[in-house]
Amino acid sequence: MEWDAWEPTYRAILDDFGFSRRADEEAARALEPILRSKRLAKDRDLRRVLEDQDVVVAGPALEGQALPEGGALLSCDSAVGDVLAQGRHPDIIVTDLDGKVEDQVKANACCSIAVLHAHGDNIPALHRWVPWFQGMVAGTCQCEPIGALRNFGGFTDGDRAVLLAAHFGARSVRLAGFDFEHPRPKPGKDPVVKLRKLGWAKRLIEDAGVPVKGL
């Protein structure tokens, strides 16, 4: 998905949650210069992983659930540790840096492309963690992209991963470790707001334009 197609949905999300577009733009401006010294993944790198693949997206409720074999493996934020514990390495990590980022840094140093996302309330995390990523990275944002940043659509790590796969021509997506009804508690996070976010995530995945199993 390109920005022009995504913007109406983005505006609807801002209106629904009362989020600040200006804060998202500030986050994009914070991330973009940090990435200039990084090894940036090109579209061809992401397409090489995803095009014509049956993609598995690992979500935060994975916790020991065996991952399907075959195809490309995308891991969302806090699921990376569970993926590594199964002896697997994600091909791509999609993260806004609020999980156990040390696991993501470790996987990125080995072989995983890290898609690092900027939004209005993770600016401190961007400054703290992005410099630690030494492998190939890509930067995404909520708002209109600037510089090397991209916006493939999506609101949470899970639906951003699915939309990323769809954008680069995945044949299908299988979800593993997704629970849209029972959000995992996180310190300082309102579970009611999280449940509303998951409602949006499910809707966006359903409309991703690629066959999705596991909804």
The predicted model gives 105-122 an average pLDDT of 96
pLDDT in tens, 74-94: 999 989 999 999 999 999 999
Residue 124 neighbours by CB under 8 Å, 6+ apart = none
Judged by DSSP in three states, 127 sits in helix
Better-scored residue on pLDDT, 28 or 182: 28
Do 68 and 163 contact (CB within 8 A), yes or no? no
pLDDT of residue 210: 95
The predicted model gives 150-176 an average pLDDT of 97
Residue 51 neighbours by CB under 8 Å, 6+ apart = 168, 169, 170
pLDDT of residue 188: 66
Domain span at residue 79 reads: 3-213
Picking from 172, 178, 192, the residue whose alpha carbon sits closest to that of residue 78 is: 178
Angle at which helices 157-167 and 191-206 cross, to 10° = 20
Number of domains within the chain: 1
Assess whether pLDDT exceeds 80 at residue 127.
yes
Spatial distance between the Cα atoms of 104 and 163, rounded to a whole number of angstroms: 20
Assess whether pLDDT exceeds 80 at residue 202.
yes
Classify strands 172-176 and 92-95 as parallel, antiparallel or unpaired: unpaired
pLDDT in tens, 18-67: 999 999 999 999 999 999 999 999 999 999 999 999 999 999 888 878 89
Assess whether pLDDT exceeds 70 at residue 98.
yes
